[in-house]
Amino acid sequence: MPRLYGHKRAAYSHKNLTMALSAEVAEITEHLTNHGCSNVVGAGRTGTSQWLTEKQSQNLPKENLSEVETELADTLIYLIRLADKLDIDLIEAANNKIEVNEQWYPTDKAKGSVKKYTKFDG
């Protein structure tokens, strides 16, 4: 995997990368609350953060969508940096996890369900 950050590599510890990754995910979350997306019709600021409705979250204004795009890119960069520091191949790890999920959540039992795998009948 090519280095995305050159000379700054040493400045990012595992802990700092994890904290930065978490902060970026929180920024994505903020965009899907009425607090972070007050220009969505019906979202309005209430002083407390509430999740947008499914319909609102699927129809973000271009301005908000652009901001989410930036935060997703930041998240991806930090994730790649962390995986690189830990010498983890993200594609291989994701493929392995998909295989595990297919075993834990067989389509005939899991489709349309939000149950945890431990709650399915043997």
Q: How confident is the model at residue 86, as a pLDDT?
A: 94
* 41 pLDDT tier (thresholds 50, 70, 90): low
> Does 46 have pLDDT greater than 80?
no
* 52 pLDDT tier (thresholds 50, 70, 90): confident
Please list, residue by residue across 41-76, b when 16 or more beta carbons sit within 10 angstroms of its beta carbon and e when fewer do.
eebeeeeeeeebeeebbeebeeebeebbeebeebbe
Q: How confident is the model at residue 51, as a pLDDT?
A: 79
